[in-house]
Amino acid sequence: MPHELEGQLHWHEPVGLTPAGASRFARPPRAHDRFMAEEGLATLRATFVPSLPAVPRSLWRRLGGQGVFIQLHGTEGALGCSVSEIPAGAALSVEKHLCEEILLVLEGRGTTELWLDGDAERVVFEWQPGSLFTIPPNAQHRLINAAATPALIFSASNLPAVLNQLGDTEAVFANPFIFRNRFDDETGLAFDDIEPDPVRGLALCRTSLVPDVIGCDLPLDNRHSPGYRQMTLGMTSDAMTCSVGEHRPGRYSRAHLLPPAGVTLCLRGSGHVLLWPERLGPTPWRSGFETEVLRLNLQHHAMFAAGPGGGRWYHQVFNTGKIPLRLLVWSVPDRPAGPPGAEELDEAVVELADGGTMIPYWAEDPNLRSDYARICAETGITNRMRPDDYRAPDAA
C-alpha cells in the first residue's frame, strides 16, 4: 500500500483477519443538525422540559424574533420542535417550508396570514393562548403579534425527516411546488364536527384550526383509563399525527408501549408520568429495576418525550390534581412493513395476553396502586380507582 499523501486521506486494508473500520464511533451530524447550528439558535436536547415559556431564547435572525430549538431525546430524525417569540406589535418574517407543521399558542394574541405563491388574496385568522393551527406545506405565512406584550408560539414539525431525506435547505425552504390540494376554502377555518376515522373508527375532527384546544369538548374514549376522553385532530397528511386526550381526576392510565417519535405537552391539570424502556419488562419494581424508571412531574406547559432513550418505552400517566389532566400529543406514525389490507394491531390499547403492549391494572406492579392511593390521601384528592379495576378477568 502506498503511504498517505500530505493533505489527502488514504484508506488502508486491514492486516490479516482484523475487521475493517471501527465498530464504535461518534454519530455524525445530519442535515437537520447542521440546519439548527446554522440558524444560530441554541438547541435544548432533553427528555423533559418543565416549562416551555421558561426555556431561554436568543435572536432568530432569519425570522426576526427570538427562538430556541428543542430536540427531545428519541425524536431525532423524525420530529422537531421550537419555541418562537414575536416581539410586541411586530411580526415574524414571511417563510414557507415543504414540511408539515402544527403550532400551539403559549402566550399572546395575534393573527396568521396564509397564501400560495401567485395568489393575490390571503387567508387570515386570529389566535390566542390555547389556539392550535397548522401551516399547509409550501404555503407562504406570516405570524403577527397584535398585543403590547410578546407572543410565544410552540411548533412541532416533521422537518427533521424531510430535511434529512432531501439533504438541502433550499429544497425545503425555497421549493416552488404549490400544494393546491392542501390549500382550499377551508384553510384557516375551525370545525367541531366529529367523525369516525376511516381506519380505526376513533373520534376524528378534520380541521386546520382549533381556537381553544385547552377548553374544547372531547368525546369519551375509555381506551387508556375509565372515563378517558380523546380526539384525533386531522390537521396534516398522515406523515404526522396530533391528538388531545384527558384523564379524569382520581384516575391513572394503564401502562403501554409507545414508539419513540412522539412528544407530549401538558395543557391543563397536574400529575406525573412514569417512563421505562421495554427491556425492563412490565413490572420493573418487582424485577428490581425501579431506579431506572423515570418519574416526571406534569404541569401547565411541561413537555416530555415518549421514548427518551430510543426504542419503545412504557408510558403511564397519573392525574394527581383536582381537575382533568389534558395532554396534547404530536407524533410521527410507526409504519410496520406489509402490503395494503394486511391486518394491524393497535398494540397500545390491546392487553399483553392478547398480543398487545397494554398492561392491565390487575397485572401491573402493586407498588403503583399503593403509591397512587398514598398521593391521593396526602393531597386530599378523591381516589376513583376501585377494587373492580384490579380484578383479573377470571377472578370470581
Please provide the DSSP assignment of 25-93 as one string: -PPPP-HHHHHHHHTT--EEEESEES-GGGS--EEETTTTEEEEEEEETT-TTT-EEEEEEEPTT-BPP
Q: Mean per-residue pLDDT for 241-269?
A: 95
Kindly state whether residues 221 and 143 are assigned to the same domain.
no
Alpha helices in 220-348 (DSSP H): none
- Whether residues 213 and 354 share a domain: the answer is yes
4 membership: H or E segment, kind and range: none
Per-residue pLDDT reduced to its tens digit, 158-196:
999 999 999 999 999 999 999 999 988 888 889 889 999
Do 261 and 376 belong to one domain? yes
Q: Residue 395: which pLDDT band, with cuts at 50, 70 and 90?
A: low
Query: What is the enclosing helix (H) or strand (E) of 366?
Result: helix 366-379
CB atoms within 10 A of CB 249: 19
Q: Are residues 381 and 268 in the same domain?
A: yes
Name the burial class of residue 72, with classes exposed (0-12), middle (13-18) and buried (19+) by CB atoms within 10 angstroms of its CB.
Answer: buried
Task: Assign 314 to helix, strand or coil.
Answer: strand
Give the whole-number percent of the chain exceeding pLDDT 90: 82
Is residue 202 included in any domain, yes or no? yes
Same domain (yes/no): 235, 112: no
- Is 187 inside any structural domain? no
175, 205, 235 - which closes a domain: 175
Q: What is the mean pLDDT of residues 205-210?
A: 96
pLDDT at 202 over 70: yes
Taking residue 121's Cβ as centre, other Cβ atoms within 10 Å add up to: 7
Of the three residues 175, 209, 226, the one that is the final residue of a domain is 175
Total domains present in the chain: 2
- What's the one-letter identity of residue 355? G
Helix 159-166 / helix 31-38 crossing angle, nearest 10 deg: 110
* 55/204 same-domain check: no
Q: Assess whether pLDDT exceeds 90 at residue 207.
A: yes
Q: Are residues 171 and 207 in the same domain?
A: no
- Grid cell, residue 75, equals 425524536
pLDDT greater at residue 286 or residue 309? 286
pLDDT tier at 3 (50, 70, 90 boundaries)?
Answer: low
Does 241 share its domain with 162?
no
DSSP string, 147-206: SSS-EEEEEEESHHHHHHHH--HHHHHS-----GGGSSTTTT-B----EE-TTT--EEEE
Domain annotation covers residue 18 = no
Domain boundary among the residues 107, 140, 175 is at 175
Beta strands 140-145 and 313-319, pairing class:
unpaired
Whether pLDDT at 143 is above 80 = yes
Q: Is the domain of 303 the same as that of 211?
A: yes
Residues, the chain, total? Answer: 396
Range of the domain at 53: 31-175
Residues 254 and 367 in one domain: yes
Task: Output 62 or 335, whichever has higher pLDDT.
Answer: 62
Q: Is residue 215 part of a domain?
A: yes
Please check whether residue 287 lies inside any domain of the structure: yes
pLDDT at 223: 94
* CATH number where 273 lies: 2.60.120.10
In the predicted structure, residue 5 carries a pLDDT above the cut 90: no
Task: Tell me: do 258 and 119 sit in the same domain.
Answer: no
Helix, strand or coil for residue 388? helix
Convert the pLDDT of each residue in 92-141 to its tens digit: 999 999 999 999 999 999 999 999 999 989 999 999 999 999 999 999 99
Q: Is residue 140 a contact partner of residue 116, using CB atoms and an 8 Å limit?
A: yes
The reply to whether 154 and 253 lie within a common domain is no
Note whether residue 135 is domain-resident.
Answer: yes
